[in-house]
Amino acid sequence: MDQPTFDFIVVGAGSAGSVLANRLSADPRHKVLVLEAGRESHFWSRIPVGFAKLIDNPKANWLYASEPEASTGQRRIPIPRGKLLGGSSSINGMVFVRGQAQDYDTWAQLGNRGWSWQDVLPVYKRMEAYDGGADELRGRTGPLRVTDTPRQKIPLLEKMIEAANKIGLPFNPDLNGETQEGIGMSQVTIAKGRRQSTAFCYLDPARGRRNLTVEPGALAETLILEGKRCIGVRYAASGEKREARAAREVIVCSGSINSPKLLELSGIGQGQRLRSHGIVPLHELNGVGENLRDHYSPRVKFAITERNATFNDNARGWRLAREALKYALWGEGFLATTSVPIRMYFRTRPGLETPDATISVLPFLYERVGHERRIAKRRGITMNVNVLRSESTGSVHVKSADPAEPPAIRFNFLSARADRDGLLAAIRKGRELMATSPLKELTGEEIAPGAHLTTDEEILDWVRNNAETTYHPVGTCKMGADPMAVVDHELRVHGLQGLRVADASIMPTLTSGNTNAPCIMIGEKCAEMVLAGAATPQRKVAA
């Protein structure tokens, strides 16, 4: 069998993996292989509005779903994950959020040296080119273009800002600045009308390097262990089974659902569980697949009575044609914007040091038509309501030894009291906002949950039966030093050599907001640590 040898193998070219591919191959002495299960690209992955075309699209999406659970009213809720170069950064909502300083200080306090805010801030600054300018908190010259959503273009949002000010939420000109608190325009990974995925910002500029091999359509099936060292990857591509060897390291960047799955398929995980699926345990690690966290997110919806105040009016007929023209000519307009142009962060109770909840506002209503989500005819807005650092934890585990079978994903949402209380308070905050002038003058019916639902139990029951996530699964190969940790503070799998995990799965807790920027930071930091280690002599590998 053909077994080419590389220095590094990166499994998954997503938010974190593409960064590693670029940084590791920047030194021409390193031979780097990137295996990506998904395709090279998709037409809609370049155009911001393409988000709506990819969220349910099997050509670029793993389309996972959770197991039926009490916390989801026995529904299977959708878990979209990018399956193409750029991974989820090629299909996501493009909102750029770093989170709060305290998120990272918490990671450091959990024993993860090198991950405090002071440690990660320089990495964040280095990775971005923020069009708002550089200062002690922001960067201007990195590979990732970050832009401000223009404030003036959507009049409804001006009224929302005024109403928010009246209920104690000041306008915050930089939601990634000194403080997260307040209402502000989203910063986005969109520039010149184009999605700034990691495929575009990190992978494309490195594709010409002769020491970098990128293999789309290559599904890693198991890692190859020799004793307690990982020496390569078995994968399926073009209908064949193949193997590649890594002289130095394999870095698993397959995301929070697929990374624990790959570890388990390779015999790394809970011994009893693996044996029950006919997988021989080669390295027992009880934390693999545990600690799944996500932002459970009810969609609170209101009708809007004013014409042309929402995207619902722009998404059909001649107005849509006009928007398409604007996009074709100048890369501007509705097709070039995020679906979440504005959001607010707030505290749900007195005594909290920083915001614990957020509402992201979609200035439109959408509906499901079969498997697709479409902008609805009815005029209105949708609020995605989240507790920022949900404490409920679930799990991701294989259902069999078959790499093609999706894993069992259980969230166990709302099991933590803080999550229930936080969501209730945040939903009520959304109602308060819509009932405040000058927003209330154009607010119509509360479509969901509906004004008739008022008690905690009624609202929580509605949440259980209707909420989805905001697609931020993290934590299933968590970093730490406790018995349930999977990787150490340098992202090395505990007890094994030559194997790291670098993606959303290593986050011990959720960051306060969306997770793409933190994953890119994780990729950058991992590259730094790998390169520091690569200064040591290379291990010999048997061919």
Ligand X SMILES: Cc1cc2nc3c(=O)[nH]c(=O)nc-3n(C[C@H](O)[C@H](O)[C@H](O)COP(=O)(O)OP(=O)(O)OC[C@H]3O[C@@H](n4cnc5c(N)ncnc54)[C@H](O)[C@@H]3O)c2cc1C
Residues 43-72 within binding reach of ligand X (CB under 6 A):
55
Q: Which is nearer to ligand X, 472 or 489 (CB)?
A: 472
Which residue of 519, 521, 526, 527 would you call a contact of ligand X, by CB under 6 A?
Answer: 519
Q: Establish if 517 lies at the interface with ligand X (CB under 6 A).
A: yes
For the CB of residue 168, give the shortest distance to ligand X in the complex, in Å: 26
Which residue of 9, 21, 35, 251 would you call a contact of ligand X, by CB under 6 A?
Answer: 35
Question: Which range in 24-32, 92-100, 156-164, 455-463 contacts ligand X by CB under 6 A?
Answer: 92-100
Mask for 303-332, x = binds ligand X (CB under 6 A):
------------------------------
- Ordered DSSP codes for 162-185: HHHHHTT--B-S-TTSS---EEEE
Helix (H, G, I), strand (E, B) or coil at 264: helix
Query: Residue 204 is encoded by which pair of tokens?
Result: 């494309």
Residues 244-283 within binding reach of ligand X (CB under 6 A):
253-256, 258, 262
The active-site residue out of 283, 397, 472, 489 is: 472
For the CB of residue 308, give the shortest distance to ligand X in the complex, in Å: 25
Please identify which residue in the block is written with the tokens 């498997």. Answer: 371
Q: Which is nearer to ligand X, 82 or 289 (CB)?
A: 82
Nearest residue to 367 (alpha-carbon basis) of 425, 448, 479: 448
Q: Establish if 32 lies at the interface with ligand X (CB under 6 A).
A: no
Backbone torsions φ then ψ of 129, nearest 5 degrees:
-120, 90
Beta-bridge partner residues of 64: 79
Instruction: In whole angstroms, give the CA distance from residue 481 to residue 496.
Output: 14
For the CB of residue 520, give the shortest distance to ligand X in the complex, in Å: 8
Question: Which range in 68-76, 110-118, 372-380, 511-519 contacts ligand X by CB under 6 A?
Answer: 511-519
Contacts of 32 (CB under 8 A, 6+ apart): 6, 7, 8, 9, 10, 21, 24, 25, 211, 212, 213
Q: Cβ atoms within 10 A of the Cβ of 1, count?
A: 7
Q: Establish if 100 lies at the interface with ligand X (CB under 6 A).
A: no
According to DSSP, the β-strands at 64-65 and 78-79 are antiparallel
For the CB of residue 46, give the shortest distance to ligand X in the complex, in Å: 16
Instruction: In whole angstroms, give the CA distance from residue 63 to residue 41.
Output: 17
For the CB of residue 283, give the shortest distance to ligand X in the complex, in Å: 18
Q: Is 452 a known active-site residue?
A: no
Q: Which is nearer to ligand X, 16 or 309 (CB)?
A: 16
Q: Establish if 13 lies at the interface with ligand X (CB under 6 A).
A: yes
Q: Establish if 38 lies at the interface with ligand X (CB under 6 A).
A: yes
Query: Residue 349 is encoded by which pair of tokens?
Result: 């109770």
Q: Establish if 396 lies at the interface with ligand X (CB under 6 A).
A: no
Residue nearest to ligand X (CB): 14
Residues 427-486 within binding reach of ligand X (CB under 6 A):
471-472
For residue 166, the 8-state DSSP code is H
Question: Which range in 390-398, 425-433, 444-452, 513-521 contacts ligand X by CB under 6 A?
Answer: 513-521
Q: Establish if 92 lies at the interface with ligand X (CB under 6 A).
A: yes
Q: Which is nearer to ligand X, 94 or 439 (CB)?
A: 94
Cα first-last separation, the chain = 10
Question: Which range in 89-97, 104-112, 126-134, 410-418 contacts ligand X by CB under 6 A?
Answer: 89-97
Beta-bridge partner residues of 369: 372
Which residue of 48, 87, 184, 269 would you call a contact of ligand X, by CB under 6 A?
Answer: 87
According to DSSP, the β-strands at 194-195 and 190-191 are antiparallel
Q: Which is nearer to ligand X, 72 or 516 (CB)?
A: 516
Question: Which range in 20-28, 29-37, 114-122, 486-494 contacts ligand X by CB under 6 A?
Answer: 29-37
Question: Which range in 93-101, 346-354, 361-369, 375-383 contacts ligand X by CB under 6 A?
Answer: 93-101
Q: Cβ atoms within 10 A of the Cβ of 226, count?
A: 12
Query: Residue 347 is encoded by which pair of tokens?
Result: 């505290």
Nearest residue to 169 (alpha-carbon basis) of 178, 160, 181: 181
Q: Cβ atoms within 10 A of the Cβ of 212, count?
A: 23
Mask for 195-224, x = binds ligand X (CB under 6 A):
-----------------------xxx----
Query: Residue 203 is encoded by which pair of tokens?
Result: 């992978």
Q: Which is nearer to ligand X, 180 or 436 (CB)?
A: 180
Q: What is the 3-state secondary structure (H, E, C) of 6-58?
A: EEEEEECCCHHHHHHHHHHHCCCCCCEEEEECCECCCHHHCCHHHHHHHCCCC
For the CB of residue 217, give the shortest distance to ligand X in the complex, in Å: 9
For the CB of residue 216, give the shortest distance to ligand X in the complex, in Å: 9
Residues 123-182 within binding reach of ligand X (CB under 6 A):
none
Binding-site size, ligand X (CB under 6 A): 43
Instruction: In whole angstroms, give the CA distance from residue 73 to residue 189.
Output: 35
For the CB of residue 350, give the shortest distance to ligand X in the complex, in Å: 29
Contacts of 321 (CB under 8 A, 6+ apart): none
Query: Residue 134 is encoded by which pair of tokens?
Result: 């550089």
Amino acid symbol at 297? S
Instruction: In whole angstroms, give the CA distance from residue 391 to residue 413.
Output: 9
Amino acid symbol at 394? G
Which residue of 449, 516, 525, 527 would you call a contact of ligand X, by CB under 6 A?
Answer: 516
Element (DSSP H or E) covering residue 284: strand 283-284
Instruction: In whole angstroms, give the CA distance from residue 490 to residue 498.
Output: 12
Residues serving a catalytic function are: 472
Binding interface with ligand X (CB under 6 A): 11-17, 35-38, 55, 80-83, 87-89, 91-95, 97, 218-220, 253-256, 258, 262, 471-472, 503-504, 514-517, 519
